[in-house]
A and B are shown apart, each in its own frame.
Chain A
């Protein structure tokens, strides 16, 4: 069976998706990264192998997400793509009419504006995390409930409370203030959802022409309360694709397929055996100049595979990636 693999390693979750030659989703994996991207990629590969038929022939592999270079080195990716392009490609695969793609992830969120199937503009959250999933995670933790319970209870709100503050810290103090004033928890929860949506639109979506159809993807799309808040704020229907949480990986797989179509070279994929190998990571401070860059390196059997993190080129030996 001919197949294409996409791996999306984000800060919070790791996603893998395999497509067949007709770009149909064969299987996918969704794991928490837990700060161990290498182990999770290995584990993901192991798990996905078990779900694939024996005769699978991975013709091309692409990685995406914030740890795309690292993942690319580990698996031997043919293509390393940023998550914006991957998400756009995947969204358009399932909803070719889409004009706006909203992606809210754990630590960053994006907006992608599409016209006639071409990306014309995009935005990403700047420094702060207020328009991202971690905003809700943080508040849920503070309220001592799981994020699932949070979403469920938020939907029961009838008079949401306005939570001020763009930044997580400010919002938190305002939330505590509202609690102390005796508002219902449900109303505070939905107020937080509205705050996230508002922050997202005011920060990431600022100045963007948000037109329907709007596709909402990323892990936060699990949260029905956020979907509702988005719908209310934008006053239009929001499409949540079936596999919204693995769209980045699907996009990467699509791009991997596209690469084969463009130039039919063999794959650099190192095979599923990669999941058994012990990689070694370390870091050191470069002393070549006063910049004090922290250089991270990954090695296998004492041989350095890749290094990055420097402000200059001297440590970068990373032939597999098309790094800028």
Chain B
């Protein structure tokens, strides 16, 4: 059995670790690139969002590399995500793929469902082995996110632009290579030290929150790496959504009744009373909640994403008022256009802060 799955940021690293420990063959399709996108666009029905197109491209490329078991994110919800698997399966079959397609529904079965899927994929490995492999995967995930948070802080203030990103890439590779807890720990400590020692300018960076739909937030290719761009412009990016956080809560804490998003939802209530599917509720809530600490907000949404369109319509009406720049991510989005808009947005925030300080 050769397993393949779509990309989302560096999520393949913990999965690779997990499957390696279980002795399962795991294919990693090329990281998202123009070709992946073209493949996705070519075979997707019109009017679909970029997460669909990119993940479809990944699946096709994984199948080309010989994957015979494809994991497709699915599950029930209000957003169209849950329907992906139905169509992606038909498209893959039309292209001649005849392996297995497994829908991984995170939202319904939570931890037990995921573990059961892993058990099935690992050819019925014993539970202790699965749990230990799963824990190791999680450890890698946590290490990556811990480093990324520091990278977000260093990017705007580093003296030599690009240093943090270089260290980040190296760190990700090192985490990928680490084969046990001890080396993993060492990599983490090492790179956190290195990042802390980067020479920094003495400036007070602007703080911009990045909110929006889960996939485009976490897949830099889909948002043209907006976080690095903002970093280059001397802006510190704050993001609540991290895969490690999401995993921690969705898989472990939510079932126990702890809801990390309660604060966000409560903040959104005066403007949006209910969950509208996707991440629309959170987008509104984050704006309200963080209006005081952030200078501005970047709202990322896939083109045609209904929950985010509803959020976008509601956001201007909140009393808690900070500038919001909505960026619609699709295959049309081009770097020159995006940089211009980002620069203008940052200038606006800059001027606003200066006016406020005087």
Q: Which residues of A contact B (CB under 8 A)?
A: 126, 162, 164-167, 170, 173-174, 177, 202-203, 206-207
B71 to chain A, nearest CB (A): 26
Q: Is B46 interfacial (CB 8 A cutoff)? A: yes
**Contact: A165 with B332, CB < 8 Å?**
yes
**Contact: B334 with A164, CB < 8 Å?**
yes
Total inter-chain residue pairs, C-beta < 8 Å: 24
**Contact: A177 with B336, CB < 8 Å?**
yes
Closest 4 A/B residue pairs (Cβ)? A177-B336, A170-B332, A165-B332, A206-B46
Q: Is B149 interfacial (CB 8 A cutoff)? A: no
Q: What residue in chain A is nearest B330 (Cβ atoms)? A: A166
**Contact: B337 with A166, CB < 8 Å?**
no
**Contact: A173 with B45, CB < 8 Å?**
no
Q: What residue in chain B is nearest A201 (Cβ atoms)? A: B42
Partner of B334, one of A174, A202, A203, A207: A174
A174 neighbours in B (Cβ, 8 Å): 334
Given contacts A203-B46, A206-B46, whether A173 and B334 have CB atoms under 8 Å apart is yes
A-B contacts besides A162-B34, A165-B334, 17 pairs, CB < 8 Å: A126-B46, A164-B331, A164-B332, A165-B332, A166-B331, A166-B332, A167-B332, A170-B332, A170-B334, A173-B334, A173-B336, A173-B337, A174-B334, A177-B334, A202-B42, A203-B46, A206-B45
Can you give 24 contacting A-B residue pairs, CB < 8 Å?
A126-B46, A162-B34, A164-B331, A164-B332, A164-B334, A165-B332, A165-B334, A166-B331, A166-B332, A167-B332, A170-B332, A170-B334, A173-B334, A173-B336, A173-B337, A174-B334, A177-B334, A177-B336, A202-B41, A202-B42, A203-B46, A206-B45, A206-B46, A207-B45
Q: What residue in chain A is nearest B38 (Cβ atoms)? A: A198
A166 to chain B, nearest CB (A): 6
Q: What residue in chain B is nearest A176 (Cβ atoms)? A: B336
Query: Please, how many angstroms separate the alpha-carbon atoms of A126 and B47 in the complex?
Result: 12
Query: Please, how many angstroms separate the alpha-carbon atoms of A141 and B45 in the complex?
Result: 33
B335 to chain A, nearest CB (A): 9
Q: Map CB proximity to A onto B31-56 as digits: 1 under 8 Å, 0 otherwise.
A: 00010000001100110000000000
B336 neighbours in A (Cβ, 8 Å): 173, 177
Query: Please, how many angstroms separate the alpha-carbon atoms of A167 and B331 in the complex?
Result: 11
B334 neighbours in A (Cβ, 8 Å): 164-165, 170, 173-174, 177
A162 neighbours in B (Cβ, 8 Å): 34
Q: What residue in chain B is nearest A164 (Cβ atoms)? A: B334
Query: Please, how many angstroms separate the alpha-carbon atoms of A207 and B331 in the complex?
Result: 19
A173 neighbours in B (Cβ, 8 Å): 334, 336-337
B45 neighbours in A (Cβ, 8 Å): 206-207
B333 to chain A, nearest CB (A): 9
B41 neighbours in A (Cβ, 8 Å): 202
Q: What residue in chain A is nearest B337 (Cβ atoms)? A: A173
Query: Please, how many angstroms separate the alpha-carbon atoms of A90 and B331 in the complex?
Result: 37
Query: Please, how many angstroms separate the alpha-carbon atoms of A164 and B330 in the complex?
Result: 12
Query: Please, how many angstroms separate the alpha-carbon atoms of A170 and B34 in the complex?
Result: 17
Contact residues of B between 307 and 350, Cβ < 8 Å to A = 331-332, 334, 336-337
B332 neighbours in A (Cβ, 8 Å): 164-167, 170
Query: Please, how many angstroms separate the alpha-carbon atoms of A173 and B45 in the complex?
Result: 26
Query: Please, how many angstroms separate the alpha-carbon atoms of A174 and B336 in the complex?
Result: 8
Q: What residue in chain A is nearest B42 (Cβ atoms)? A: A202
A102 to chain B, nearest CB (A): 17
Most chain A CB within a 10 A radius of its CB, from B42, B331, B332? B332
B331 neighbours in A (Cβ, 8 Å): 164, 166
A205 to chain B, nearest CB (A): 10
Q: What residue in chain B is nearest A203 (Cβ atoms)? A: B46
B34 neighbours in A (Cβ, 8 Å): 162
Query: Please, how many angstroms separate the alpha-carbon atoms of A173 and B34 in the complex?
Result: 18
Query: Please, how many angstroms separate the alpha-carbon atoms of A172 and B336 in the complex?
Result: 12
A167 neighbours in B (Cβ, 8 Å): 332
Q: What residue in chain A is nearest B41 (Cβ atoms)? A: A202
A165 neighbours in B (Cβ, 8 Å): 332, 334
B327 to chain A, nearest CB (A): 15
Q: What residue in chain B is nearest A170 (Cβ atoms)? A: B332
B42 neighbours in A (Cβ, 8 Å): 202
Query: Please, how many angstroms separate the alpha-carbon atoms of A36 and B34 in the complex?
Result: 44
Query: Please, how many angstroms separate the alpha-carbon atoms of A202 and B53 in the complex?
Result: 13
A126 neighbours in B (Cβ, 8 Å): 46
Q: What residue in chain A is nearest B46 (Cβ atoms)? A: A206
Q: Map CB proximity to A onto B250-287 as digits: 1 under 8 Å, 0 otherwise.
A: 00000000000000000000000000000000000000
Query: Please, how many angstroms separate the alpha-carbon atoms of A126 and B45 in the complex?
Result: 14
Query: Please, how many angstroms separate the alpha-carbon atoms of A162 and B331 in the complex?
Result: 14
B337 neighbours in A (Cβ, 8 Å): 173
Query: Please, how many angstroms separate the alpha-carbon atoms of A177 and B337 in the complex?
Result: 10
B186 to chain A, nearest CB (A): 43
A177 neighbours in B (Cβ, 8 Å): 334, 336
Query: Please, how many angstroms separate the alpha-carbon atoms of A165 and B336 in the complex?
Result: 13
A206 neighbours in B (Cβ, 8 Å): 45-46
